[in-house]
């Protein structure tokens, strides 16, 4: 019997993904078609929810999503490209365990990634099989739960984005609420109380197999440096289910704020409440802190939280102009991170060719531009564009090294031979040399445009 015929006889087949088969997702969180928000509801599901999770079409969609996400292997070392072959051999047994409620997840591999402002963030990387199962559960639960979440919640939700959150914040400020209660939850994912969270899940899920499996994912051990430690609280960042469960837990905060009539925007664990005065803000800060600590067992980071004008704080990488107009601006910290990243990409000691650096820089700028493109700050973008071009000119000048090489490259780029010789003979350092007219003309704005450099301010 041929290999193709054997594949057809598998209970679950995973065909090769074609473009357009699965819905597109935003950068942060799974994006599925969103229904209109209903009133608050427990959205109780049937006791046969696991059968829906294990349905062929649902698992196929989950596999496509895991494959598209790629990602690192978990503790078992199984990679995403190896997942299909593994499922062909083991899916029948895995499915049986899921339906019987006996499946036990493997520990997650803990890694630490640096934060832009210093410190590190702990990520828990599940095995690819557990990522597949979590994704399948997510696809079923999100369709049922998301319509019941608050309209003021924007993070990791279908059809919602950071741009919508910052635009809504702008509307609150323009309505006269020129003070913000900026809440930062201290180590939110590490402090999630399992019993409180599972109590919220149990209000919405009847299937005890799903409840047991979610609890097991929460309690799965953490492996670091070959040692597995048990977890009694917290939720690992890195699993597909974590964003949905965090929204479920914090939905209780949303409902409390709505009950009190507050105007607010929440994106994951980042919440801003807009009020009319400093005194009102301090009162709200005190009451919300008490609610979070007593009801949800969460803690406010006092050093990062504050009551202030919105233009004195940042929200999702943005800030606002001073005054009632509240124009959206790029936060200074975001500009600082951009400059730091460009310095890293254009460093002379990286051992990359000029065109390689140009390609990496353009890809980074394209992503940055797509996120901050809603900001109208032409003077800032023009200033950044000029600085980036100067960094690239400096890199090229350094890589040419010798007088003969520099003179030749300048002539190739249309500089007169005499001018090229004078420019190449300069004793100025690279940063000052790239301000010489010959170098600027060789690497003009039109030249950078022709070789594909993305301009934050556009080339129009």
Burial of 16 (0-12, 13-18, 19+ CB in 10 A): exposed
- Measure the CA–CA gap between 108 and 320, rounded to whole angstroms: 40
User: How confident is residue 44, by pLDDT bands cut at 50, 70 and 90?
Assistant: low
Q: What are phi and psi of 39, to 5 degrees?
A: -65, 165
What average pLDDT does the segment 367-396 reach? 95
pLDDT exceeds 90 at position 56? yes
With H, G, I as helix, E, B as strand and everything else as coil, classify residue 225: coil
Q: Exposed e or buried b for every residue in 262-301, given b needs 16+ CB within 10 A?
A: bbbbbbbbbbbbbbeeeebbeebbeebbebbeeebebebe
Dump pLDDT digits (tens) for 145-162. 999 999 999 999 999 999
CA dihedral angle for residue 192, residue 193, residue 197, residue 198, rounded to 10 degrees: 130
Residue 38 vs residue 257, higher pLDDT: 257
Taking the C-alpha atoms of residue 126 and residue 213, their distance in angstroms, rounded to an integer, is 14
User: If you average pLDDT over residues 386-398, what whole number do you get?
Assistant: 96
Q: What end-to-end distance do the CA atoms of the chain give, in Å?
A: 62
Whole-structure pTM value? 0.84
Mean pLDDT of the chain: 88
Q: Write out pLDDT tens, residues 193-236.
A: 999 999 999 999 999 999 999 999 999 888 877 777 778 888 88
Is the pLDDT assigned to residue 23 strictly greater than 50?
no
pLDDT, average across residues 106-134 = 83
For residue 27, pLDDT beyond 50 = no
Residue 141 gets the label, from left (phi > 0), alpha (psi -120 to 50) or beta, of: alpha
Q: Examine the pLDDT at 368 and tell me if it is beyond 60.
A: yes
Q: Which two tokens stand for residue 29?
A: 């969180």
**Residue 31 and residue 10: Cα distance in Å, rounded?**
29
**What is the model's pLDDT at position 45?**
59
The percent of the chain in helix, strand and coil, each rounded to the nearest 5, is 50, 10, 35
Q: Among the listed ranges 17-31, 61-75, 140-154, 400-414, which one has the minimum average pLDDT value?
A: 17-31
Q: Which residues pair with 272 in a beta bridge?
A: 182, 265
Q: What is the mean pLDDT of residues 353-376?
A: 95
Pick the residue with more confidence: 38 or 45? 45
Q: Residue 424 pLDDT more than 80?
A: yes
Rounded to whole angstroms, how far apart are CA atoms 49 and 294? 32
């Amino acid at each position: 019997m041929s290999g193709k015929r054997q594949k057809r006889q598998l209970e679950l087949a995973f065909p090769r993904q074609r473009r357009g088969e699965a819905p597109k997702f935003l950068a942060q969180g799974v994006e599925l078609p969103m229904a209109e928000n209903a009133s608050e509801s427990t959205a109780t599901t049937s006791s046969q929810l696991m059968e829906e999770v294990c349905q062929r079409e649902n698992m196929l969609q989950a596999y496509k999503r895991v494959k598209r996400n790629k990602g690192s292997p978990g503790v078992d070392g199984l990679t995403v490209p190896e997942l299909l072959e593994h499922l062909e051999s083991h899916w029948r047994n895995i499915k049986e365990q899921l339906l019987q409620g006996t499946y036990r997840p493997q520990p997650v591999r803990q890694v630490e990634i640096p934060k832009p402002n210093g410190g590190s963030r702990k990520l828990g990387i599940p095995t690819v099989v557990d990522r597949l199962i979590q994704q399948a559960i997510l696809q079923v639960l999100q369709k049922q739960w998301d319509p019941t979440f608050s309209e003021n919640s924007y993070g990791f939700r279908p059809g919602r984005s950071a741009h919508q959150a910052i635009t809504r914040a702008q509307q609150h400020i323009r309505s006269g609420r020129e003070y913000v209660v900026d809440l930062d939850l201290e180590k939110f994912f590490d402090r999630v109380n399992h019993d409180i969270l599972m109590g919220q899940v149990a209000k919405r899920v009847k299937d005890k197999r799903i409840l047991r499996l979610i609890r097991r994912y929460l309690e799965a051990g953490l492996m670091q440096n070959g040692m597995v430690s048990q977890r009694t609280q917290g939720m690992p960042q890195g699993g597909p289910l974590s964003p949905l469960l965090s929204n479920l837990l914090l939905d209780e905060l949303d409902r409390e704020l709505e009950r009190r009539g507050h105007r607010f925007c929440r994106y994951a664990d980042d919440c801003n409440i807009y009020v009319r005065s400093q005194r009102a803000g301090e009162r709200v800060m005190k009451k919300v802190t008490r609610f979070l600590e007593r009801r949800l067992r969460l803690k406010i980071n006092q050093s990062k939280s504050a009551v202030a004008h919105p233009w004195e704080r940042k929200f999702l990488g943005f800030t606002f102009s001073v005054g009632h107009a509240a124009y959206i601006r790029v936060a200074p910290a975001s500009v600082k991170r951009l400059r730091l990243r460009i310095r890293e990409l254009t460093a002379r000691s990286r051992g990359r060719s000029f065109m390689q650096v140009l390609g990496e820089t353009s890809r980074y700028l394209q992503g940055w531009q797509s996120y901050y493109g809603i900001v109208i700050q032409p003077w800032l973008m023009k200033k950044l564009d000029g600085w980036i071009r100067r960094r690239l000119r400096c890199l090229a000048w350094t890589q040419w090294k010798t007088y003969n090489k520099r003179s030749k490259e300048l002539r190739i780029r249309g500089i007169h031979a005499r001018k090229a010789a004078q420019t190449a003979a300069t004793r100025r350092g690279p940063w000052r040399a790239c301000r010489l007219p010959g170098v600027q003309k060789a690497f003009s704005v039109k030249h950078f445009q022709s070789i594909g450099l993305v301009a934050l301010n556009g080339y129009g």
